[in-house]
Structure 1
């Protein structure tokens, strides 16, 4: 059975991980630019999904769709795809491929099919059981899950609120394929911990195992939480790592909004993190979400004030709120930006002080095709 993987830029790391998982079960996910062969697999987020719906609906082969959008809206995706993987794919996708190949496709756990009753997921992926990549290389996912239930975020609903970690020796083994070690994780400084209380001894153990690499930690493609940014954690990063920037999320300059978002930190935590990063000779890169439905005018202006504060000492990354399905804020509309907020963000962007998109939230995904 020929199994293909539809190449989509935003899903490159998913491809690397699922290629490795399927390869161990005897299936090679052949990269394609259009659906073909016996089976074509897709991984979609909620921005890219509309771009591929017609292609999937009209495909002449069997189609399998997974990813964040499929996990959040399985019934909707099942209207145009043959099979929908509703959770983590490392175990579910090879299991489904075996069922398709054998002709026994009824009630595969964690898979929705329009002609079969849905059988819920019956497993949680044990990260050490799966390589992060094989021939199709990707960033190394070191942790999965998040204990914080931020109202706009899909991570807890897809991967759960209990953190799972890849062991140090496995990370080091796969990092040996690269000069630079870069990681996928919802909060790099939570490695080895429950996600709430840092275990810096385990972070240092990871760093020691990677001393043949140039380590980039708490920067693209991951970040950290502001309350995890302390003198102790920064001492470790500056001692072992090569990055001169640290990326963390503020999201809002209003404590009232942060409470509504269930972020679990305060504006004061953000300011302390900025000070600490600068004191350690690094540049803070701080994420913000504007147009949040729970904002009032004063909250939006407070966020703008904090953006100005950040860019005097670092960089800001600003994006318009996206109502992601499967989150508490699904279906909510972004709040219009005040004219002065629009004006100031535009000026800062022209000056090269901020990046992002606060008019078209999907712009950063549109190059995926």
Structure 2
């Protein structure tokens, strides 16, 4: 059954106040997931990046519904788009993505009508069994029976019970859209995220903060059996204190290999060149199969499912576009505790030359334990060394302003940043702590900017120093890039992105090079994020 509405999906992810400055070449999986559900329902849809929608020349005339996907840090952009829509239309606005995990705030601040928290496929499908299918706001009676949503009724916000975690069958029932990838102007050069796994195996708990401070140190979450780890006697949310993934999505569930292979193949056929296999922890892929029917709530045991990981990477790297050398497959996050010799060798075999992100967050072992981290600083250092030795480029994540940060933890963190660089870290990525809803630190204030906090500034300066040295090492290096577009600030140059990820590369050349993969040599360093190159 098809529905006579046209739906606009606004991609606000990582846009902040409405402009992607450092993530212009990133296409997340969330908006395509929404589009996939709508395609299943035979609902017409189009994805528009936030910057396009804030262009005054665009209108909403041909759409009857607006879906908005964003993070909590994107609330300003979500608010602007919703208000623009509401100026001339009474049709509903539905908010999804991480921003929806704080439903009262996001609905009141933005003026949107409905928010979808957590996994959204089944919830969206049920919403289309209401008046929403006609572009109208559903009645209270219709909304009241749908789990996983919040909605505005006059001046108040109603919050329905959370939807239970969906089973793996959701992946086959609602595959993400590949057709809508060309809605993004830079789809051919962007890092396109393909979800391979949902949920996280770290069911440790934070032991500090207003919520985590209730911990009695019973150690059930670290030493108990898999079922016992699931619930905390004190109600502390699972996972690292600064993360809400286990609360929102539960333990890991892996997408079937054939669905991932089909999606990547179709994206390559559409012209995509760079794929990121998206997962909170890549080495969790297929690991739940080793403990079924129990939930995978242990971030350390069992070891990775080497057979399944090998099958996944073998199939993907054997695709024609990969064999020709005109595309790349990358991964993102891995847990250091799961980086065994065998795991490192497997990753090096299929993903050599690509980056891999390893969370460090704090260099202090006791601080890491109190945060609920799944691994120790020494394990992270060992993982960095092993990954570098097999030919990968470790990107190492730290967070400043965390609850529990002291002069002592900063001393150790600075030393760990320096040790990470010596052992092979290609880049240090530093974030400021942001309090997230549904995490153990939801009641903690976000960390202050490093510019006004002396201890955080020490971490910032240490990371900056390492990155400057690493950038200088790039001079003379040769690698392939995807040519994306003309450089707005100086039309003599073209913006290009490394096939295997890295800084923006500016090269001289004509527009006929756009969409092509070419080898370049780095000739100069322009800034922390930009280098100059010439076609080699």
Structure 2 CA distance for partners of 1:147 and 1:106, relative to 1, 3 Å: same
Structure 2 CA distance for partners of 1:211 and 1:54, relative to 1, 3 Å: closer
Residues 226 and 265 of structure 1 are in contact (CA less than 8 Å); yes or no, is this contact kept in structure 2?
yes
Structure of larger gyration radius: 2
Instruction: Give the match for residue 205 of structure 1.
Output: 311
TM-score (norm 1): 0.86
Structure 2 CA distance for partners of 1:332 and 1:7, relative to 1, 3 Å: closer
SS of the aligned residue for 1:324 comes to coil
Question: How far 1:140 sits from its partner (Å)?
Answer: 1.9
Distance 2:34 2:383 in 1: 36
Instruction: Give the match for residue 106 of structure 2.
Output: 77
SS of the aligned residue for 1:287 comes to strand
The answer to whether 1:344 aligns with 2:462 is yes
Distance 2:41 2:201 in 1: 32
Q: 2:381 aligns with which of 267, 271, 282?
A: 271
Structure 2 CA distance for partners of 1:167 and 1:292, relative to 1, 3 Å: same
Q: 1:155 aligns with which of 245, 248, 251?
A: 245
Distance 2:252 2:149 in 1: 23
Distance 1:287 1:55 in 2: 32
Where do residues 296-311 of structure 1 align in structure 2 (5 Å cutoff)? Answer: 296-311=406-421
The alignment yields a C-alpha RMSD, in angstroms, of 2.7
The answer to whether 1:237 aligns with 2:237 is no
Structure (1 or 2) with the greater strand fraction: 2
Distance 1:199 1:135 in 2: 32
The answer to whether 1:62 aligns with 2:92 is yes
Distance 2:362 2:117 in 1: 31
Residues 218 and 247 of structure 1 are in contact (CA less than 8 Å); yes or no, is this contact kept in structure 2?
no
Instruction: Give the match for residue 135 of structure 1.
Output: 179
Moved more, 14-23 or 104-113: 104-113
The answer to whether 1:13 aligns with 2:13 is no
Compare relative contact order (CA 8 Å, sep 6+) and give the higher one, 1 or 2. 1
Distance 1:147 1:75 in 2: 28
State the number of aligned residues.
Answer: 353
Residues 410 and 458 of structure 2 are in contact (CA less than 8 Å); yes or no, is this contact kept in structure 1?
no
Query: Which 5+ residue runs of structure 1 have no aligned equivalent?
Result: 357-363, 365-369
SS of the aligned residue for 1:20 comes to helix
SS of the aligned residue for 1:98 comes to coil
Question: How far 1:82 sits from its partner (Å)?
Answer: 0.8
Write the deviation string for residues 324-365 of structure 1: whole angstroms up to 9, x where unpaired: 222111232426342544443444444456999xxxxxxx9x
Instruction: Give the match for residue 321 of structure 1.
Output: 433
Query: Which 5+ residue runs of structure 2 have no aligned equivalent?
Result: 15-26, 182-191, 203-238, 289-295, 473-501, 504-528, 530-536
Distance 1:216 1:227 in 2: 26
Q: 2:123 aligns with which of 80, 87, 92?
A: 92
The answer to whether 1:145 aligns with 2:145 is no
Instruction: Give the match for residue 367 of structure 1.
Output: none
Distance 2:467 2:317 in 1: 37
Question: How far 1:28 sits from its partner (Å)?
Answer: 2.2
SS of the aligned residue for 1:265 comes to coil
Question: How far 1:171 sits from its partner (Å)?
Answer: 1.4
SS of the aligned residue for 1:182 comes to strand
Instruction: Give the match for residue 230 of structure 2.
Output: none
Distance 1:170 1:77 in 2: 33
Structure 2 CA distance for partners of 1:346 and 1:274, relative to 1, 3 Å: closer
SS of the aligned residue for 1:264 comes to coil
